[in-house]
Amino acid sequence: MSSAETLAKALGKGRASLDRAAVRHDEPPSKYDRQIRFAPIGAEGQRLLGRSAVLVAGVGALGCALAQQMVRAGIGTVRLADRDFVERGNLHRQSLFDEADAAASTPKAVAAAARLRAINGAVGIEPHVVEIGPANVGALLAGVDLVLDGTDNADTRLLLSDACFAEGIPFLYGGATGSAASAASLVPGHTACLRCLIGGEDEAEAGDNCDTAGIVGPAVELAASLQAAEALKWLSGNRAALRRTWITADVWRFSLRETRLPAGRPACPYCGDADKSVAREPDRLDSALEATVLCGRGTIQVATGGALEPGACAARFARRGCRILAANDYLVRALTPCGATLAAFGDGRVLVRGAAIVEDDVGEAIRLCRTYVLEGPDEPEKEELH
Amino acid sequence: MTRRHGVLFIVNDDAELALAADADGVHLGQADLPLNEARRIVGKSMLIGISTHALSQALKAERDGADYVGVGPVYPTATKPGRQAVTTAYVAVAASQLRIPFFAIGGISPATAEEVLAAGARRLCAVSAVVGHADPAAVCVTLKRSIERWEAEDALRRSQSLSIAENAKRTEAARLGKTEETLNAPAVGTSEAPNAAGTGIPLLLNGKRTWCESVSLGALAGALGLAGRRVMAELNGQAVPRADWDAVPLCPDDRVEFVQFVGGG
């Protein structure tokens, strides 16, 4: 039996689809010597870390910091999931990326995986260029011991919290905006779930985000460090040391507050005893084009419902008068004659940006996708060419 | 005429006209000419305001040099039919985020003014409620009184936060004393109670001593305009699930924190 199979068996999840070839645990002990000398971890804790698997959900600022901590600490498998590609505006805080990644529009999960493999080749790195959604959240959680939250929006966090509580997997929330950092360890059987704490209203006002309030690197690193410390406790056999609290901090004005988390709410289908079957079934995407406004980014995401082969996409873009800005194995980015930027991902999503969609014009984003991305007769938009 | 009465004259939409009429300012809509162009036309000294319907627009206006912004429509209004209301949630976030003055507008009347002022607005704009009323002057006076009452409370709160250490000492004294004494207020001080009726209870709200008339955590969140927002509530050091907010009563000297959900990543 290979060590990867042993790992999958030890995790006790038949659905585990870990990156078996990359998992190796015959490392010389010296690599983690200083971490092993830290008494609460020790040799046994290190062994447990090496047998663990985590999902880093979102590989932006928080995700980079979290993934790096996990990989350097010698976690067995680090699974990465992210829907976006690297841009110059990310580099001041997203520590695994560089100018070349931005120039090539490399998907964040892929760029991060390359850097992480160079940092610690003993760790199995599993990059997934996907949007975390109801259809794939089960597969992404399969076989992991906990989820580290590096997402940038409440909806995805609620989806992950629901799924984690249904599966009994701890969800380590983290957030950073402006100079504020937050982190909380939400543990099934011990604490309430995210939905119970912040509310699950679909229309809830989102509050500040990085685009309105900006963000500074130290806030990110603080939130990620708080999450990573809890992860190391949980995975190294120090579960009793977990702080079951919600921490809010500010690195600029300086403040640090800790709030005790309540136990699960009995009436909640996720963190309580209520019948799981009453938990609301996540909405599934149908095959029609579906557009989502990505909060505060001046970006609309259109799910086309089918795969978009990058080569064929690039050819269509070129035929329809677009300028190709970047093309790689995962996506093609192009500038349309009307000044919009379209990034078509292999998994069928298109990120639409530009003046045309400033007013969150979902209809316009869908029209641009039909005109320039999808298969069909090539009809450039004459009225837009002036 | 406006000059004779000492009020400002703002021209809607048309910067050229504002200039020609020697107006005090020009007010733009989101679809009108861009702020920087309007500034180029009217020069530095004329006021420029712009209607906004979301925080991102207001922050952009602030960056681009607007002198004030309109925040609305707070409620659905017949003046702009079909426009979706931004609710007092936007008023609250504008109050906490903007440095330039803002006017709450849209469906504002003496009936709704209190809610809008509670959300943090201190400048109100009303059209239908004034021109559609038999006694427009009386409506204006009522609205003005409401604003002045809230401004007076602001001043009181500012003076309280200056003596926060003193307050902490008094709170401690009240804790040592009997509960009835705390409720009857003399031990905590009477002059600080903004409500003349004396029905409110003292709280430590986000670290500040506050008098509140809400009986539950949910009612307080509603009064603060936080009901529909992503916030976590904490009572005496422990987070309270949202579903329990309405059932959790507030007691004198409770420590309440509303923590904004930090969503970036």
Q: Which residues in chain A are closer than 8 Å to B262, comparing Cβ atoms?
A: 175-177, 180-182, 223, 248
Q: Are A150 and A66 within 8 A, CB to CB?
A: yes
Is the Cβ of A299 closer than 8 Å to some Cβ of chain B?
A: no
Higher pLDDT, B195 or A128: A128
Q: Which residues in chain A are closer than 8 Å to B256, comparing Cβ atoms?
A: none
Q: Which tens digits make up the pLDDT trace of B23-59?
A: 888 999 988 888 888 888 888 888 899 999 988 888 8
Residues A229 and A321 in one domain: no
B178, pLDDT greater than 60: no
Residues B151 and B173 in one domain: no
What is the count of structural domains for chain A?
2
Domain endpoint, select from A278, A310, A336: A278
Which residue in B229, B238, B241 is closest to A207 by CB distance?
B229
Domain endpoint, select from A278, A312, A331: A278
- B167 found inside a domain: yes
Nearest chain B residue (CA) to A61? B265
pTM: 0.65
- A285 found inside a domain: no
Domain that holds residue B125: 10-156
B251, pLDDT greater than 90: yes
CB atoms closer than 10 angstroms to residue A381: 15
B83, pLDDT greater than 90: no
C-alpha triplet A41, A46, A49: angle, nearest 5°:
110
CATH of the domain at A246: 3.40.50.720
Q: How far is the alpha carbon of A53 from chain B, nearest alpha carbon, in Å?
A: 21
Higher pLDDT, A224 or B124: A224
pLDDT band at A61 (very low <50, low <70, confident <90, very high): very high
Residues A190 and A262 in one domain: yes
- B89 found inside a domain: yes
Q: What is the DSSP string of chain B?
A: -TTTTT---EEES-HHHHHHTT-SEEEE-TTSS-HHHHHHHH-SSSEEEEEESSHHHHHHHHHTT-SEEEE--SS--SSSTTPPP-HHHHHHHHHHH-SS-EEEESS--HHHHHHHHHTT---EE-SHHHHTSS-HHHHHHHHHHHHHHHHHHHHHHHHHHHTHHHHHHHHHHHHHS-HHHHHH-TTT-STT--STT---EEEEETTEEEEE--SBHHHHHHHTT-TTB-EEEEETTEEE-GGGGGG-B--TTEEEEEEE-----
Question: Catalytic: A210?
Answer: yes
Q: How far is the alpha carbon of A183 from chain B, nearest alpha carbon, in Å?
A: 9
Q: Report percent pLDDT > 70 for chain B.
A: 83
What residues of chain A, 27 to 66, have a C-beta less than 8 Å from chain B? 58, 60-63
Higher pLDDT, A175 or A304: A175
A344, pLDDT greater than 60: yes
- Per-residue pLDDT at A292: 80
Residues B121 and B103 in one domain: yes
Nearest chain A residue (CA) to B236? A259
- Per-residue pLDDT at A276: 65
A184, pLDDT greater than 50: yes
Which residue in B90, B243, B265 is closest to A60 by CB distance?
B265
- Per-residue pLDDT at B173: 41
Domain that holds residue A158: 3-278
B177, pLDDT greater than 70: no
- Per-residue pLDDT at B17: 87
- B223 found inside a domain: yes
Residue A93, sorted as left (phi over 0), alpha (psi -120 to 50) or beta, turns out to be alpha
A285, pLDDT greater than 90: no
Domain endpoint, select from B121, B156, B191: B156
Residues A105 and A209 in one domain: yes
What is the count of structural domains for chain B?
2
A58, pLDDT greater than 50: yes
Residues A336 and A359 in one domain: yes
Residue of A210, A271, A322, A369 marked active site: A210
Q: Which tens digits make up the pLDDT trace of A355-385?
A: 666 666 888 888 899 999 998 877 654 444 4
- A375 found inside a domain: yes
- Per-residue pLDDT at B24: 87
- Per-residue pLDDT at A279: 59
Mean confidence (pLDDT) of chain A: 86
Q: Which residues contact B158 (CB under 8 A, 6 or more apart)?
A: none
Q: How far is the alpha carbon of A345 from chain B, nearest alpha carbon, in Å?
A: 21
Residues B142 and B192 in one domain: no
pLDDT band at A235 (very low <50, low <70, confident <90, very high): very high
Residues B147 and B169 in one domain: no
Domain endpoint, select from A278, A302, A318: A278
ipTM above 0.90, yes or no: no
Domain endpoint, select from B115, B130, B156: B156
Q: Which tens digits make up the pLDDT trace of A259-282?
A: 999 999 999 999 998 776 655 555
- A134 found inside a domain: yes
- B224 found inside a domain: yes
Residues A176 and A257 in one domain: yes
- B184 found inside a domain: yes
Residues A197 and A321 in one domain: no
Which residue in A176, A205, A267 is closest to B264 by CB distance?
A176
Q: Which tens digits make up the pLDDT trace of A105-158?
A: 999 999 999 999 999 999 999 999 999 999 999 999 999 999 999 999 898 999
B79, pLDDT greater than 80: no
